[in-house]
A and B are shown apart, each in its own frame.
Chain A
Amino acid sequence: MAAATTTPLKTKDFVSDLDVRWCPGCGDYSILKNIQKVMPELGVPKENVVFVSGIGCSSRFPYYMDTFGFHTIHGRAPAFATGIRASRPDLSVWVVTGDGDGLSIGGNHLVHTIRRNLNMQILLFNNRVYGLTKGQYSPTSREGMRSKSSPQGSIDYPIDPIALALAAGATFVARTIDVDAPHLQETLHRAHAHQGTAFIEILQNCVVYNDNEWLELEDRKTRISSALSLEHGEPLVFGPKGDRKGIRIHDGVPSIISLRDGDDPVSHGVATHNESHRSASYAFALASLSRPEFPLPIGVIRAVEKPTYEAMLHAQVDDAIEARGPGDLKELLHSGDTWPLS
């Protein structure tokens, strides 16, 4: 997409004049800032950018971006975005959703939008709680979570957004952290460059209703042991010097092995990260790594290419025009059996 503006855009060009109204300390502030930072770097004229959201704290997002924005209804943002992108492939479409909006009421649309592989970015802010409705457990809340609607502890088993996206056939799946600015920005760049649905789970902190849910991952000191940083072509290793460990995957089942300083991880059976592995089984094995037993994978889990829905849709239109000529209304109305009466 050619940049239409003569002067390069800056972060401030993407800041709308509406006062941001998330709670002080909310993880969304960091995400907003990083997206506004990345936007001018993508080279897309801002009139071609559309942010679409549903309902929830995260869904306030479009109001704060000085682009086109559509704050829709609960859970349905991916479906609205589908209509936009399917009809207008010239637009850069970003869906912002949360664990309640995207995985509970909107689970169906998330699955089917990913399945169709429309070229758009879906950012799912996962704070494992309902914030806007003031603190009920969400589909990603841990078992036993005490909340306003589960005073004795939640008896729902949580859903894993990454595994769900993979099961839906996602061509791009990544996980990043609200306060890890460099990684978040890099992931946004990767997602935008991907041709197809790019699904990003962003671990996000709700300061009011579920504070410090991701603390061990957000805190740089503990992250080295609690996160598994994914780099394409690099071995799956984690832990500080002196306590290095690696992930082995045998028959699709991951396990942890300890490494001594100087050990070559690969020759000890540690798996090498391959985000474009043809089989999704490897990505599912990564998705199965969960705290506290395993470190949580952070980075691009899967990135493969498949034709997009809108490309195939518009190709069908083009093929039909090529085969039959552009539609002619008179010809249509007179097609098949007709008879003159005088």
Chain B
Amino acid sequence: MAQPKKPVEDVEDVAIRFAGDSGDGMQLTGTKFTESTALAGNDLSTFPDFPAEIRAPAGSLAGVSGFQIHFSSEDIRTPADEPDVLVALNPAALHANIADLRSGGMVILNSDAFTGKNLERAGYDEDPLPELEDRYRVVEIPLTALNREALKDLKLSTRDKDRCKNFFTLGLMFWLYNRPIDSTLRWLESKFRGDVLEANLRVFKAGLHFGETTELFPVSFTVPKAKIQPGTYRNITGNQALAWGIIAAGVQLGRPIFLGAYPITPASEILHELARYRHFGVKTFQAEDEIAAASATIGAAFAGQLAATTTSGPGLLLKQEAIGLAVMTELPLVVVDVQRAGPSTGMPTKTEQADLLTAVYGRNSDSPMPVLAPCTPGDCFTVMIEAFQLAVKYMTPVIVLSDGYLANSSEPWLIPDVDSLPRSEVRYHEDPKDFMPYRRDPDTLARPWAIPGTRGLEHRIGGLESEENTGTVSYVPENHERMVQLRAEKVARIAQDIPPIEVNGADRGELLVIGWGGTYGAISSAVNEAREDGRDVSSVHLRHLNPFPSDLGEVLARFRRILVPELNSGQLRHLLRAEYLVDAESLSKVQGQPFKVNEIRARIDRVLAAGS
């Protein structure tokens, strides 16, 4: 760590946004800052926000890539509504992000990039800096020149040298917030060799040194350790947690994992991650398309694997016919949908929660299946184990709805004790005596999992309607109605496994804010703030979207007003109204961005004001 000679001030809570061109390495800069911040013992939450284009035109607004990190000595649940510091490596990054900066916040910018041509590309008619200085603390640093100067005697091209400047920036920010440098040094040494390693190490340290010597920063800051639950922590993103949850399900349920997937943003990392863990017996299959991915997964489930298929919205639609077959043949598998802004291709790298209705209803005919949603990156791990447990216990496909925000965001995650993870025994049916493929367990209504290779259990299943118990193809009208009811009743019975709802705040009162999925952090932060200010508001966050918890109706009835914040046009509200005949109102946001705490808080205050 740099030896600070300048004064150091304690601050409770900081949010920094790193922004630059998509080729400037902002995601990496953010990730390294995050790792170090986690090691410093702060609570944190991150939000990477990047364009879908791999390389948009240099210097353009379309090519701006951002990474926001919020870290604190207190419990935090969101990446923060407004950053306190904006690091902008070019005019486009400034233009795209300045509106979000807290009034009076700090802008650190690369003054070398503020040339006529770059300003023009960023859509500025004139130099924006003079005007900014009225509202923000603007720190202009000739990053490009300082970076080149630090590397002047190295035999690298200017282009290669310039590519290191994100590490100069990182070094400077490490100094400014007194971050531990060891993990970053280790990472650089493992990642690079020779001159490139030397260059990155040198500019990283030059950045630290610059902070200490420049007169631009009179003080540096520390954020004291947060008081978090004791244990061993790591950073985890939602996608990584989903992948590890799948592996954990295989271990805890004692059966091999099969993943069928087709690359799609923002779900591909789950496939990448699982492909690295073949030593867990994980078999990944990159299919020719979404339909084949789902079909192969169902085939693997038929053959006795714990099978999953991962996708995002458009892919879910392609899979739905196959999923309908899994509903009909009552095979256990898990379908993960990392939701993104739609419809159609929409905005692939941007988040949304608008696949709820298609998950619950989006197959032909009456085709019920359970739907679960994790609420934090770390929760993505837990939800996968639960999804597999339900799938095999009830012999049903299960949909897990993550989203683009959870997928890429990270948080410090208390590593669970493996011995405390849920375990369950998965049994294949083996007894040929009186075997019938659709004879149901009286409690769960599950049919037996009778896999090929088991003597005496030869049988045929398929998409045609089956006779109750025997599974023989049947067109008998009453049988069809009976089977439709049985399939529905089976999914409905999952409610018996759902624990009672935990209400955040008072369990009755004026206003209940109810949400689901990745909006948990924003909703609970807003509700807790409002409660601290004496407002009569509570919140419930649903993990089970189908079936709903059996006590949901009672909980709703204990509140006079119901508010449903969602990153869609009101889909959960629709379900709640249909199911419980409550006059729930919607707080809808469909901008491809997560909720800000203030947006929810403002609505809570408005609703309460109107009601009083």
Contact = CB atoms under 8 A, between A and B. Distances in A.
Tell whether A and B belong to one assembly.
Answer: yes
Interface of A: 4, 16, 18, 45-50, 52, 55, 62-63, 65-73, 76, 79-84, 86-88, 90-91, 108-109, 111-112, 313-314, 316-317, 319-321, 323-327, 329-330, 332-334, 336-342
A70 B462 contact: yes
B218 interface: no
B325 A72 contact: yes
Instruction: Find the residue from B289, B302, B452 having the highest chain A CB count within 10 A.
Output: B452
Interface residues of B, number: 69
Interface string B433-471: 000000000000000000011111111111110000000
Interface string B157-188: 00000000000000000000000000100000
Contact of B303 (A46, A83, A319): A83
20 contacts: A18-B460, A62-B460, A68-B460, A70-B329, A71-B464, A72-B463, A73-B322, A76-B322, A79-B287, A79-B291, A82-B285, A82-B287, A320-B277, A321-B281, A327-B277, A329-B251, A333-B234, A333-B416, A337-B235, A340-B233
Nearest to A21: B473
A70 B302 contact: yes
B487 to A, nearest CB: 17
B74 interface: no
Contacts of B307: 83, 87
A30 B230 CA distance: 71
B8 interface: no
B304 A70 contact: no
B251 A82 contact: no
Given A83-B299, A91-B453, 10 more contacts: A48-B452, A55-B463, A63-B460, A80-B298, A83-B297, A83-B300, A87-B304, A88-B453, A327-B281, A340-B233
B435 to A, nearest CB: 12
Contacts of B473: 18, 63
A5 to B, nearest CB: 8
Contacts of B260: 83
Contacts of B321: 73
Given A46-B458, A71-B463, A108 B292 contact: yes
Nearest to A69: B460
Nearest to B41: A341
B279 A324 contact: yes
Contacts of B282: 317, 327
Contacts of B455: 4, 45, 47
B114 interface: no
Contacts of B281: 317, 321, 326-327
Interface in B63-118: none
Contacts of A48: 452-453
A341 B300 contact: no
B291 A83 contact: no
Given A79-B287, A83-B307, A84-B302, A73 B461 contact: no
Nearest to B225: A341
B179 to A, nearest CB: 13
B307 to A, nearest CB: 7
A316 B276 CA distance: 11
B564 interface: no
Interface in B258-306: 258, 260, 277-283, 285, 287-289, 291-293, 295-305
A79 B295 contact: yes
B548 to A, nearest CB: 30
B456 A47 contact: yes
A340 B418 contact: no
A43 B321 CA distance: 36
A340 B283 contact: no
